[in-house]
Amino acid sequence: MAMYADLLAHPEETSSSAVPPVDNDQAQEDVDIAIVRNLEQQLLHVDTSGTVKHSPLLQRLRRHTAQPLPFPFVHAPLVDETQELHCRVLQLANARLDRLQVLKQTEPSSSTSQETLVPTPLFSLEQYQALTRTCVNKGDIEAAELALHLIKRSGLLVPEDSLTIVLHQHAEVGNVAGVEQCLASFLAGPPTEPQRHLHVKCHLRATRRHHIPESALAVLHSYETQGLPAPMKTYTSTIAALYSTNLSIARAQAWDLFSHMRYVAHPKPDVVLYTSMIRACASPVVTSRSSDPERALDLWTEMTVEQRLTPTVGSYNAVILACAKSGRKAYVNEAFRIAKEMVDSHRDAYGRSAYVPDRSTLCALLEGAKRIGDLSRARWILADLVQSDAGEADGVNEEIMMHVFHAYTSYVPPFTRNLALLKASPAPEVRVPTAAEPAADVPPPVNQPSRFTHIPPQTGNEVIDEVQALFERILEDTGKGQGGASLDPLLGGPQKFKHVILSVRLVNSYLSVHYQHSSLEVSEALFWKVFNDVGVVPDARSYLEALERCARSKKRERDLSLQFAERLWENWLELEDAGRASSRTLDARMVERAHVAFIRVLALNGQLQRALDHVKSFVQKYPPSLLYERPVKPSFRSTRTAMVGARPLVRLTSHNEVPDDRVSPLLAFDDLELLHHRLVAASMRAGIGYIKYISKAYEWALRGRRDAAMKARPAPDTHAIATA
């Protein structure tokens, strides 16, 4: 057993004894303060007996000075006692250096020039570093810079650690001017790797949210042209910042920067960077695909097999999510296989796994289950969670329940008759078993029978029944319910759902189940009720999904769908107009879908003229001429062939693969096809001609925009000029 325990031990267990103890920051701070206090006493020239003493340097200067000193140096300079300790020390030290400079100026001309060039440090480097750390710990960044100036005035080189901690403080708040001023003032040679990382990090922090960090990219490439590439964590941070913008052009630039880095700086990425790029495969550049599982698996194989790097839980979660979001059954099954490998293939001699699945792992698996409508796996994951002893960190939360509700939405009930749950009538009779029937057939007497079974629901009503039980349990555990509801035995003990946040996206996912499996009458009543019960305000997606449910209503629901859609449209217009009036406009594709859904509702109800008027009002708001705006091509997206430049030289994405995120709302013929058919049936020739004209107008505007984008020239690189 000891032999197998040693062979199968996890790497963390074998190396835990070799890990050095963690430095106590508080103890270091106390030591620094004690050093700074001694510096104050040294500068005041007061010993324990209270007599004044002079430093050897001052005594030497006094012997070589023929003229009387211009100041009584036996007295200490006046300081403000109300100032903090580090401020008093800085004031005394600068006053001492001023006196020494005056003494040097009064020396006889016979003294050698070499003697005047000798540094005159007041303290040792360790004392200077302690003073700088004390200023930083007090949050006084200006005093820390004065401490660096003091080191420079003393004729010493500024220590790397002291300059780095000051740069770190500036980088945390995005003070670009402070970082560059410190580098220009205190840097004697080329910046070190930590300093280059902080320089780029400062530009990343200074970039506004949802904006491309062009200045950070320019600084990063500037270091490359100088032969001083930034460390790998700098590239990782820059790639993460590019992906956080949610812009297609920024995502493409992130992949290009990754390939460029492997050619010019770091050919072998580390586990953190591999994990970031595998997770990026779950949000590909091409918006027509939900993920890129092929590239994710290639990177996974390269990391684990070719480079032989040990993956982390985050690495497993990234590749599972990339495979699960594809929505293809083969890759979803591959995601579950990798999850099984994660748990079972790395066990020690006692059966303990090296990787413990966390909430992100379960969310990734639920993502795959809901995309293929595999409700069995989703129910199994939820049952495992509610039966476990997981706390807030790994228990049921809002995201878990949102995925579960989506799984119920995409589920198609098979209605297998022999598996259908037989429910008793509203007033069941007490049935006594006969001698031929076994007593086990009689159900056990319970106060509240479970609304869940071990098989998935077989009808739409059973789906709604289970979802209603889940939502009622969430309301009960979060304090929003009516109280007094009995606990379902298959949903775990009390307070299992208390960490679920009743957000608008959770309510939207709950309503989506009713849109799919309930009638429109039930969905409408629930829509106006549930938001008031929960206490959240509907957002744009709430109205959009309800409008699309009205657009696919059945024939017997047409009148109700028109009334429901008209009420929804009033609220939608308020959101759309408010977004247009401010800078936070709604997503163009969501605006398209909402207008198309309302046009479809009008066409289904035979209100063709009103539908035509709505199309005309849409064209007036978003005319095709908006699509003719010439797109701006940034300088870092230049495709000119070059060996050296302030941009990626090796790209993974071509120019025509990057979608245009700035396309205004439009109407294609597919969106107006139903209205066109109804107009043809009604012989409304004027309306037919208008539909054809406006569809072609948007189509040709898109073609013109595409041609202009392909022929666009990059803008001047202003950031590179400023950096140079």
State residue 1's pLDDT score: 85
> Is 380's pLDDT higher than 50?
yes
State residue 258's pLDDT score: 96
| Full DSSP string of 234-298 | HHHHHHHHHHTT--HHHHHHHHHHHHHHHHHT-SS--HHHHHHHHHHTTS-SSTTSS--HHHHHH
Mean pLDDT for 346-366 is: 89
Residue 273: pLDDT band with limits 50, 70, 90: very high
Residue 57: pLDDT band with limits 50, 70, 90: very low
| Phi, psi (degrees; rounded to nearest 5) at 15 | -100, 5
State residue 504's pLDDT score: 96
State residue 483's pLDDT score: 64
Mean pLDDT for 383-387 is: 87
Mean pLDDT for 447-469 is: 83
Query: What is the distance between the alpha carbons of residues 297 and 183, in angstroms, rounded to a whole number?
Result: 42
State residue 9's pLDDT score: 82
**Are the C-beta atoms of residues 540 and 568 closer than 8 Å to each other?**
no
State residue 108's pLDDT score: 57
Closest CA relative to residue 318, chosen from 291, 279, 356 = 279
> Is 463's pLDDT higher than 60?
yes
Query: What is the distance between the alpha carbons of residues 551 and 545, in angstroms, rounded to a whole number?
Result: 10
Residue 199: pLDDT band with limits 50, 70, 90: very high
For residue range 103-161, list pLDDT tens digits in order. Answer: 766 655 544 444 444 566 788 889 989 999 999 999 999 999 999 999 998 888 999 99
State residue 393's pLDDT score: 67
Mean pLDDT for 176-183 is: 94
Q: Which residue has the tokens 């200045």?
A: 215
State residue 110's pLDDT score: 44
Could you tell me the pTM of the whole model?
0.84
> Is 678's pLDDT higher than 70?
yes
Identity of the residue numbered 516: Q
State residue 420's pLDDT score: 57
State residue 253's pLDDT score: 92
> Is 596's pLDDT higher than 80?
yes
Closest CA relative to residue 407, chosen from 440, 433, 368, 437 = 368
Residue 191: pLDDT band with limits 50, 70, 90: very high
> Is 448's pLDDT higher than 70?
no
Query: What is the distance between the alpha carbons of residues 347 and 8, in angstroms, rounded to a whole number?
Result: 7
Residue 447: pLDDT band with limits 50, 70, 90: very low
Return the bridge partners of 52, or none: 46
> Helix, strand or coil for residue 167?
helix
Q: What does the buried/exposed string (b/e) look like for 75-110 if buried means 16 or more CB atoms within 10 Å of the residue's CB?
A: eeeebeeeeeebbbbbbbbeebbebbeebeeeeeee
> Is 285's pLDDT higher than 70?
yes
State residue 454's pLDDT score: 80
State residue 655's pLDDT score: 78
What percent of the chain is predicted at pLDDT more than 90? 55
**Are the C-beta atoms of residues 613 and 603 closer than 8 Å to each other?**
no
Taken as a whole, the chain contains a residue count of: 724
Question: Which of the two residues, 485 and 530, has the higher pLDDT score?
Answer: 530
| Phi, psi (degrees; rounded to nearest 5) at 633 | -100, 115
State residue 719's pLDDT score: 56
Residue 571: pLDDT band with limits 50, 70, 90: very high
State residue 165's pLDDT score: 95
Residue 698: pLDDT band with limits 50, 70, 90: very high
> Helix, strand or coil for residue 473?
helix
For residue range 239-255, list pLDDT tens digits in order. Answer: 999 999 988 999 999 99
The torsion region of residue 589 among left (phi > 0), alpha (psi -120 to 50) and beta comes to alpha
State residue 326's pLDDT score: 94
SS3 sequence of 69-86: CCCCCCCCCCCCCCCCHH
- Alpha helices (H) along 117-192: 125-137, 141-153, 160-172, 176-186
Closest CA relative to residue 186, chosen from 221, 161, 213, 212 = 161
State residue 494's pLDDT score: 76
Query: What is the distance between the alpha carbons of residues 338 and 320, in angstroms, rounded to a whole number?
Result: 7
For residue range 646-676, list pLDDT tens digits in order. Answer: 778 888 888 778 888 889 999 999 999 999 9
State residue 177's pLDDT score: 94
State residue 440's pLDDT score: 40
Query: What is the distance between the alpha carbons of residues 658 and 329, in angstroms, rounded to a whole number?
Result: 27
For residue range 618-627, list pLDDT tens digits in order. Answer: 999 999 999 9
Query: What is the distance between the alpha carbons of residues 464 and 480, in angstroms, rounded to a whole number?
Result: 20
Question: Which of the two residues, 120 and 542, has the higher pLDDT score?
Answer: 542
Question: Which of the two residues, 370 and 92, has the higher pLDDT score?
Answer: 370
**Are the C-beta atoms of residues 133 and 39 closer than 8 Å to each other?**
no
Mean pLDDT for 349-358 is: 86
Q: What is the largest CA-CA distance in the chain?
A: 129
Q: What is the token pair recorded at 602?
A: 């009008």
> Is 538's pLDDT higher than 50?
yes
> Is 65's pLDDT higher than 50?
no
> Is 51's pLDDT higher than 50?
no
For residue range 296-336, list pLDDT tens digits in order. Answer: 999 999 999 999 999 999 999 999 999 999 999 999 999 99
State residue 256's pLDDT score: 93
Computed over every residue of the chain, the mean pLDDT equals 84
State residue 434's pLDDT score: 42
